[in-house]
Amino acid sequence: MTAARTDFSYSSQNSSTRLPFRHLTAADAVLSICVVGLAVLAGTSVGPLLGPLVPPDLPPLHLGLLWLPDYALRTSLRMLAALAVSLIFTFAYATLAAKSRRAARILVPLLDIFQSIPVLGFLAFTVTFFLGVFPGQVMGAELAAVFTVFTSQAWRMASGMYQSLRSVPAELEEAARGFGLTAWQKFWRLEVPCAIPALVWNAMMSMAGGWFVLVYAEAVTVGNRAIMVPGIGSYVALAARQRDSLAVLAGLIAMLAVILVYEQVLFRPLTVWASRFRLETGVQDEGMAEPWVLRALRRTRILRVSIDALLSATGKIGSLPLGRRQGRGQKTPAAASNTVLECLWWGVLGLVFLSALEQTLRYGLSAYTAGQIGHVVVAGFYTLLRVLGMLCLASLIWVPVGVWLGLDPVRARRAYKIVQFCAAFPANLFFPVVAAGVLYFHLSPDFWLTPLVMLGAQWYILFTVIEGASSFPPALLEVGQNFEVKGALWWRRIILPGIIPYYLTGVLAASGAAWNAALAAESVQWGTETLKAHGLGAYIAQSTAEGNMSDVALGVVVMALFVLILNWLVWRPLSDYAHRRLKLS
Amino acid sequence: MTPAPSTTDQTPGHSTPLVEARHISQSYHKDSSADLLVLDDVNLTLNAGEIVGLLGRSGSGKSTLLRILAGLLEPTSGEVLWKGEPLKGPADGIAMVFQSFALFPWMTVEENVALGLDAKGIRGEERDRLVESVIELIGLGGYENAWPKELSGGMQQRTGLARALVVHPDLLLMDEPFSALDVLTAENLRTDLVELWSEKKLPVQAMLVVTHNIEEAVLICDRIMIFSSNPGRIAHVLTVPFAHPRDREDPAFRQFVDHIYALMTQRAPIVSEADLATGVKPAAQPAPAFVALPLVSITMMIGMMEALAAPPLNGRADLPMLAEKLQLELDDLFPLGESLELLGLAELEDGDILLTNEGVHFVLSDLEERKAIMSHALLHHVPLVKMICTVLDERPSHSTNAERFREELEEGMSPDYARQTLQTVIGWARFAELFDFDEEGDRFYLEDDGAE
């Protein structure tokens, strides 16, 4: 039992930070409008500056199996680049938000908004932008793919790091100040180490969405021009277009291999290493076996020496006496200058808001008709129906399975790893397979494409249910056995209330992922035929393919609104309630 | 009662003081109501060669004072002189030991110890020499490469001590350094520390120890400053007349401890630590002002009364003895005694606690009668309960929102204390079956055929 405990304590510790409870505030609404306004401004002013979309001279893709290792390598390197960029962004963004109260007031809600924008919808803009900056160059297409993956990871990582920077234990902070560490030293020796577990965890968790986005972004059609960056995603897309089932299968296997390598070489050693930086004492991680990669690192002299050199160099940089010594706890500055600054601050913010509102309204009125907006909103409800329906279906299947798996520590540990793996696998690689089936049997795409939105997202639910069931207090289960509580009563009174806080975390994540997946799921290609289901995802996908930017923008904004409103009105209050009433402390 | 000061060499008050705190006041800003005063005009002088203890209950502001002296916190008013100069931020000659050890989990023992040296830019051989010598001194030899989580609490606190001593501070500040340790470990570490001090092996000139353990203060300190709560003030200063090593079984020692108990219960505020209303506005008459209540459960009060009534004690007990017998810390014992006093079930007097007639009656009664006695006591001695009951009786629905009472409480105390007070009142009232509370709806209500 204890072994299983330690395995999960890592994730559950973070699952509480995964979901900061914020409720809809006026600031969120104001910021949403500011974001839209600035986006309109950027779109209308930068758009004309960019040249016409010139697809780069990409080398033709081959379906030969010998090409696959090369493509797999390219896909993995793209992911690595995106991770690096996300990491740099995270450090800058989270640090700024944690250090400046004023900046935090904008940056933190902004993360919520960014997290609800469907990343795939974004693709139309990033491709147009980067190909406009680098017309006809491979660089443009590559950057667009990497940037899109970045947008799927960065917000989550930044919000995780912000949480941990804000929760540095007070006594450690005092010790750092008391022993005269400078701001720079304190950052590297106290604050960054505190953030490492959350950083690693969030990076690992955002890989799931990351692979999904990456394979999608490798083969996009923007403005009727197909842009295929060599990689696994484009390989599978090409195979689907040529109805080559064998090549699709080979692509799937290659993806599996890439994910395995990532997990073994990058994340397992990182997780073990990061456990050193966990703050709660008394948790033994002896259960964590040393991964073979770490062992190899330790045993291989040249690797060890270079890693040691790297670490000690970082240590040296971290202990440079840059900045001033940290003085006494801040006292609120003189009231007068404070209020003046405050007024100025709100004044500027108000000005930005008003001009953003004006921009948005003007653009909205000139570009869209009421009928069009209505049409898009109706499409949104179609997709909402899909997402909610599939959430229910997935819950019906996975909650019992998850409970069954989670209550047995051995089963739980095994299942946990497999599910983690399934979650990381980009479900959209399977979409062509399903499309082939739908075409072959002449089924209705509206109905049969629906499960695809949950194909990748369902694992979040299973994941959290296993976590919840395995941390359910054994004593309470024994009480149930003792009084022979069975059947529906057992589910209703004993196990379900215990796992609901966990389950809701999973549902929140699954719902977000499902909305994003809808873009890929509601419009799938097999051969020359494109299957379409009614919905907002299909609308955005089609507008992207046609290169109709203002329609894409409308679709993306409406979808983001659906996600945000769903979060604010349903998931947040529910989780809030569950954490207050049902959390077993 | 105080033993006459003996002629040890550690008498304060010569040469320039190491630290001088003048008229320190500290208050926390509250958005809504008045500022909460935590420290009120505290003056303190610390000389080289002495160990001074700050003794008080939790919430008396002694830890805040320590942080002000460490330069970690700026006082709202007043100033701190460090070797005659105004203190601005953490100073080189001051090091601190924390209650929770505050070790960095990602640094080994050695790296933790060397933190202060790294910050100062002391490198190479000198750093290694200093670290090694302090590790030997403090008894950490062999543990250099261990991670903090591998160590027992005692070894962790030794690491914390070594980290503070390695910079050879003139002043060592200790914030409840032994309170997170078990009794045996605490005793062991305390003895070692005092021994090193009396053998003059510690590279420090003076120590300031914050503690809420009376015996510990008398064991270690040359001078003890007793804090009163709300707001924190230095109520008494005592010079401890014993030479090290001290024997806690010595009658004179026991008498000294007794004396401190008496001082700390003397003129005790009617209610607990949290009684801000009386602290800030002593002029206010007792009737309308609600007093803050400590988190004391009904079962603890009953247990205490039953222990008091039982044969060896027969209704009256010496507080230090009771604390030992019931294994209660100061922070549990005083709130408990004062709650009983508030309800008229016991009285505190000269470091003793004795049951009143009402209290004896309570112990001898059965559960139904006990509930009746408690309900009577609550209605008569706790105005808040009286008020809630009146409102509930008046309302046809027999239910009322808790928010208004919380707001009313917050006029005179911090939101935290208001919440705590309500929680305590709910617990007591539920026992007495006066009213019930619906947490989700945040409402008080009467059961259908409720009490009285």
Q: Which of A177, A277, A332 sits opposite B90 (nearest CB)?
A: A177
pLDDT at B281: 38
- Does residue B29 surpass a pLDDT of 50? yes
- Does residue A290 surpass a pLDDT of 80? no
Higher pLDDT, A253 or B311: A253
Average model confidence (pLDDT) for chain B? 84
Cα A162 to Cα A97: distance, rounded to the nearest angstrom: 7
The residues in B 411-450 lying below 8 A from A, measured between CB atoms, are: 440
Cα A455 to Cα A516: distance, rounded to the nearest angstrom: 12
- Does residue B221 surpass a pLDDT of 90? yes
A278: closest chain B residue by CA:
B105
Q: Which of B72, B98, B163 sits opposite A329 (nearest CB)?
A: B72
Cα A578 to Cα A501: distance, rounded to the nearest angstrom: 5
CB contact under 8 A, A179 and B102: no
pLDDT at B15: 65
| DSSP state, residue A25 | -
Six token digits for residue A239: 């195979």
Cα A42 to Cα A122: distance, rounded to the nearest angstrom: 14
Tell me how close the Cα of A460 comes to any Cα of chain B, in angstroms: 30
Q: Does B139 touch chain A (CB under 8 A)?
A: no
Six token digits for residue B113: 């110890």
Six token digits for residue B385: 């309960």
Contacts of B133 (CB under 8 A, 6+ apart): none
Average model confidence (pLDDT) for chain A? 82
Query: What's the average model confidence in pLDDT over B387-402?
Result: 89
A192-217 and A496-521 helices, crossing angle to 10° = 40
CB contact under 8 A, A276 and B96: no
- Distances in whole angstroms, Cα of residue A468 to Cα of each of A11, A207, A499: 11, 22, 5
CB contact under 8 A, A175 and B98: yes
Question: Do residues A581 and B440 make contact, with C-beta atoms less than 8 angstroms apart?
Answer: yes
pLDDT at A51: 64
Q: Does B86 touch chain A (CB under 8 A)?
A: no
Reported as a single tens digit per residue, the pLDDT across B293-316 is 888 899 999 999 998 998 888 888
CB contact under 8 A, B163 and A179: yes
Q: Does B120 touch chain A (CB under 8 A)?
A: yes
Cα A441 to Cα A244: distance, rounded to the nearest angstrom: 18
Cα A581 to Cα A498: distance, rounded to the nearest angstrom: 10
Q: Considering Cα of A22, then A28, then A32, then A34, what sign does the dihedral take? A: negative
Cα A511 to Cα A391: distance, rounded to the nearest angstrom: 7
Q: Which of A178, A283, A332 sits opposite B90 (nearest CB)?
A: A178
- Does residue B7 surpass a pLDDT of 80? no
Q: Which residues of chain A have a Cβ shorter than 8 Å from any chain B Cβ?
A: 169, 171-172, 174-182, 185, 189-190, 193, 196, 276-279, 281-283, 319, 321, 325-329, 331-332, 581
Tell me how close the Cα of B287 comes to any Cα of chain A, in angstroms: 36
The pLDDT-based confidence of B406 (bands split at 50, 70, 90) is confident
- Does residue B236 surpass a pLDDT of 50? yes
Strand order in the sheet with B443-445: B399-401, B443-445, B436-438
Cα A214 to Cα A82: distance, rounded to the nearest angstrom: 10
A171: closest chain B residue by CA:
B102
Q: Which of B102, B115, B149 sits opposite A171 (nearest CB)?
A: B102
Helix (H, G, I), strand (E, B) or coil at B247: coil
pLDDT at A288: 55
Tell me how close the Cα of B118 comes to any Cα of chain A, in angstroms: 7
Higher pLDDT, A449 or B286: A449
Question: Do residues A214 and A82 make contact, with C-beta atoms less than 8 angstroms apart?
Answer: yes
Query: What's the average model confidence in pLDDT over A397-415?
Result: 91
pLDDT at B371: 93
Contacts of A140 (CB under 8 A, 6+ apart): A56, A130, A131, A132, A133, A134
Cα A87 to Cα A149: distance, rounded to the nearest angstrom: 12
Kindly provide the residue ranges of all beta strands, DSSP E only, lying in A76-199, ordered along the sequence.
none
CB contact under 8 A, A178 and B119: no
Contacts of A361 (CB under 8 A, 6+ apart): none
Question: Do residues A519 and A542 make contact, with C-beta atoms less than 8 angstroms apart?
Answer: no
- Does residue A300 surpass a pLDDT of 50? yes
Per CB-CB distance under 8 Å, the chain A contacts of B71 are 178, 327-328
Cα A505 to Cα A575: distance, rounded to the nearest angstrom: 7
The one-letter code for the residue type at B257 is V
Tell me how close the Cα of A321 comes to any Cα of chain B, in angstroms: 7
Question: Do residues A211 and A260 make contact, with C-beta atoms less than 8 angstroms apart?
Answer: no
- Does residue B324 surpass a pLDDT of 50? yes
Higher pLDDT, A503 or A61: A503
pLDDT at B318: 87
Choose from A182, A187, A279, A281 for mutation: most chain B CBs within 10 A: A281
- Does residue B252 surpass a pLDDT of 50? yes
- Distances in whole angstroms, Cα of residue B314 to Cα of each of B262, B354, B356: 20, 9, 12
Reported as a single tens digit per residue, the pLDDT across B186-200 is 999 999 999 999 999
Per CB-CB distance under 8 Å, the chain B contacts of A274 are none
Ranking A364-368, A549-553, B332-336 by mean pLDDT, the lowest is A364-368
Question: Do residues B32 and B413 make contact, with C-beta atoms less than 8 angstroms apart?
Answer: no
B168: closest chain A residue by CA:
A179
Cα B285 to Cα A239: distance, rounded to the nearest angstrom: 87
The pLDDT-based confidence of B372 (bands split at 50, 70, 90) is very high
Q: Does B147 touch chain A (CB under 8 A)?
A: yes
pLDDT at B33: 52
- Does residue B452 surpass a pLDDT of 70? no
pLDDT at A280: 67
Question: Do residues A156 and A202 make contact, with C-beta atoms less than 8 angstroms apart?
Answer: yes
CB pairs under 8 A between A and B: 90
Q: Does B154 touch chain A (CB under 8 A)?
A: no
Q: Does B374 touch chain A (CB under 8 A)?
A: no
Q: Which residue has the tokens 């505020």?
A: B269
Q: Which of A169, A278, A327 sits opposite B89 (nearest CB)?
A: A327
Tell me how close the Cα of B94 comes to any Cα of chain A, in angstroms: 8
B70: closest chain A residue by CA:
A178
Query: Can you say whether residue B61 is alpha, beta or left, with left for phi > 0 and alpha for psi between -120 and 50 degrees?
Result: left
The residues in B 57-76 lying below 8 A from A, measured between CB atoms, are: 67, 70-74
B94: closest chain A residue by CA:
A178
CB contact under 8 A, A180 and B116: yes
Tell me how close the Cα of B331 comes to any Cα of chain A, in angstroms: 21
Percent of chain A past pLDDT 70, that is, above it, reads 88
Cα B149 to Cα A565: distance, rounded to the nearest angstrom: 44
Cis peptide, bond prior to residue A269, ω within 30 of zero: no
CB contact under 8 A, A321 and B119: yes
CB contact under 8 A, B104 and A172: yes
Reported as a single tens digit per residue, the pLDDT across A458-501 is 998 998 999 899 988 888 888 888 888 888 888 888 888 888 88
Per CB-CB distance under 8 Å, the chain A contacts of B98 are 171, 174-175
Six token digits for residue A47: 């758009």
Question: Do residues A158 and A94 make contact, with C-beta atoms less than 8 angstroms apart?
Answer: yes
Q: Which residue has the tokens 């006292």?
A: A331
pTM score? 0.81
Six token digits for residue A335: 């009231």
- Does residue A182 surpass a pLDDT of 90? no
CA neighbor of B253 nearest in space, from B2, B56, B8? B2
B29: closest chain A residue by CA:
A332
- Distances in whole angstroms, Cα of residue A320 to Cα of each of A241, A277, B118, B124: 56, 21, 9, 15
φ, ψ of residue A287 to 5 degrees: the values are -60, -25
Q: Which of B74, B88, B102 sits opposite A175 (nearest CB)?
A: B102
Contacts of A134 (CB under 8 A, 6+ apart): A56, A140, A143
The one-letter code for the residue type at A510 is A
Question: Do residues A524 and A452 make contact, with C-beta atoms less than 8 angstroms apart?
Answer: yes
Choose from A200, A325, A328, A576 for mutation: most chain B CBs within 10 A: A328
Contacts of A417 (CB under 8 A, 6+ apart): none
Choose from A164, A179, A580, A581 for mutation: most chain B CBs within 10 A: A179
The pLDDT-based confidence of A53 (bands split at 50, 70, 90) is low
- Does residue B322 surpass a pLDDT of 90? no
Tell me how close the Cα of A192 comes to any Cα of chain B, in angstroms: 11
Question: Residue B26's CB: how many other CB atoms inside 10 A?
Answer: 24
Question: Is residue B25 within a helix (H) or strand (E), and if so which, with residue range?
Answer: strand B19-28
Reported as a single tens digit per residue, the pLDDT across A94-139 is 999 998 887 888 888 888 888 888 888 888 888 888 888 888 788 8
Reported as a single tens digit per residue, the pLDDT across A334-343 is 444 567 777 8
- Does residue A331 surpass a pLDDT of 70? no
Tell me how close the Cα of A318 comes to any Cα of chain B, in angstroms: 11
The pLDDT-based confidence of A289 (bands split at 50, 70, 90) is low
Per CB-CB distance under 8 Å, the chain A contacts of B100 are 169, 171
Question: Do residues A161 and A18 make contact, with C-beta atoms less than 8 angstroms apart?
Answer: no
Helix (H, G, I), strand (E, B) or coil at A364: helix
A68-99 and A245-261 helices, crossing angle to 10° = 50
CB contact under 8 A, B100 and A171: yes
Question: Residue B209's CB: how many other CB atoms inside 10 A?
Answer: 26
- Does residue A449 surpass a pLDDT of 90? no
Cα A522 to Cα A434: distance, rounded to the nearest angstrom: 12
Six token digits for residue A190: 């106290």
The one-letter code for the residue type at A374 is G
Q: Which of A171, A185, A281 sits opposite B149 (nearest CB)?
A: A281
Q: Which of A175, A180, A331 sits opposite B74 (nearest CB)?
A: A331
User: DSSP states of A488-511 as a string?
Assistant: HHIIIIIIHHHHHHHHHHHHHHHH
Tell me how close the Cα of A176 comes to any Cα of chain B, in angstroms: 8
Kindly provide the residue ranges of all beta strands, DSSP E only, lying in B47-139, ordered along the sequence.
51-55, 77-82, 85-86, 94-97
Question: Is residue B26 within a helix (H) or strand (E), and if so which, with residue range?
Answer: strand B19-28
CA neighbor of A328 nearest in space, from B61, B120, B67, B117? B67
CB contact under 8 A, B72 and A332: no
Q: Does B124 touch chain A (CB under 8 A)?
A: no
Ranking A19-33, A507-521, B215-229 by mean pLDDT, the lowest is A19-33
Contacts of A204 (CB under 8 A, 6+ apart): A267, A270, A271
